[in-house]
Amino acid sequence: MAESGGPAPNVYFPPGGESDPRMPPGSGDRWPKILGGGDSSARNVWIAVGSTIIFFGILAIIVVRSPGWPEIKDSFFNGAEFRASFPLILKKFVRNIFIFCIAEVLVLILALVIAVARSLPGPVFTPIRIMAAAYTDVFRGVPTILVILLLGFGMPALDLQGVPDNDYVWAVLALTLVYSAYVAEVYRAGIQSVHPSQVAAARSLGLSRWQSMRHVVLPQAVRRVIPPLLNDFIGLQKDSALVYVLGVVEALNQATIIQQGDFNFTPLVALSVIFIAITIPQARFVDWLIARDQRKRQSGGVV
């Protein structure tokens, strides 16, 4: 966020500021910072609050007084429709949860295998590295919905013995294949961010290449990539809605059915609310994980 105008205030000692002058800029409470545009003096906070209320107030008035608003409100933000459809959609959302939870577990494993395969050193492992790289290129390149369609309609159509004819199986598999390609790259970045001296220390103690990976590199790598990992998991959770193309009656399909029956788009808004609602606790959980790890490593002592 940009500094407020006028003569540049001293960030360490804001005039009339209530923030702790011993804190470096940016490390203090975030709310005054967002509200006050970087300068957390009380006057600036009030200006920020005022301008925010006026801005969004005017925006709301423009929207509400527009000629089409009553119609929009009725078909997108219809209270009665929301109350009626929400429980039905939520009930079917359990199927989305089922799909993405299984896919997430599989992704964590498959992506790790791919990332480690790509990080194998030496000329002997070239074919494995090529395979891992090709996997990433293919599944990161093809749109998720195409992978779902190709697997979901293509594989059962083969009519091979032992190939399951279950939409859930193919939905989970398609999401796993696509997101493993993303997550493998995240893992790989984490693996490469661990300093080579850590491997040298492990190897010098007699640990094998694999033992060094397992005990020294991966634990540090995974800790570092938890935030981007959450990014991909939220993407995966949202893309669980794509399996409606296979005819699975999950939340999006259910919402569309109600929408088409009632000629009202509110069910789609209701589903959006559900998706937002599940991501926020996850973001806080990750924040908490990171903070706990920091505390554990630096607790108490004066560094």
Partner 1 sequence: MTRAIEIHGLHKSFDDLEVLKGIDLSVDSHEVVCLIGASGSGKSTLLRCINLLEPIDQGTIAISGEEITAQGVDVDATRRRVGIVFQSFNLFPHMDVLHNVTLAPREVAGLKRAAAEQQAMALLDRFGLADKASDYPDRLSGGQQQRVAIVRALAMQPDVLLLDEVTSALDPVLVAEVLDQIRELAEQGMTMIIATHEMGFARDVGKRVCFLHEGQILEEGEPDRIFSEPEHEETRLFLDRIIAAGRM
Structure tokens given for 133: 């790289």
Query: Does residue number 203 form part of the binding site for partner 1 (CB under 8 A)?
Result: yes
Quick one: 22 or 296, whose CB is closer to partner 1? 296
118, 188 contact by CB (below 8 A): yes
Closest CA to 95 of 234, 247, 280: 247
CA dihedral 266, 270, 271, 274 (to 10 degrees): 170
Minimum CB distance to partner 1, residue 210 (Å): 10
The region of 33-41, 83-91, 215-223, 274-282 touching partner 1 under the rule CB under 8 A is 215-223
Minimum CB distance to partner 1, residue 100 (Å): 29
Structure tokens given for 117: 């395969």
The total of other beta-carbon atoms located within 10 Å of residue 132's CB is 22
Query: Does residue number 279 form part of the binding site for partner 1 (CB under 8 A)?
Result: no
* Widest Cα–Cα separation across the chain: 77
Query: Does residue number 201 form part of the binding site for partner 1 (CB under 8 A)?
Result: yes
Query: Does residue number 123 form part of the binding site for partner 1 (CB under 8 A)?
Result: no
Query: How many whole angstroms separate alpha carbon 6 and alpha carbon 169?
Result: 61
Query: Does residue number 215 form part of the binding site for partner 1 (CB under 8 A)?
Result: yes
Q: Which of 198, 260, 272, 282 binds partner 1 (CB under 8 A)?
A: 198
Q: Which of 141, 162, 204, 263 binds partner 1 (CB under 8 A)?
A: 204
The region of 41-49, 107-115, 154-162, 205-213 touching partner 1 under the rule CB under 8 A is 205-213
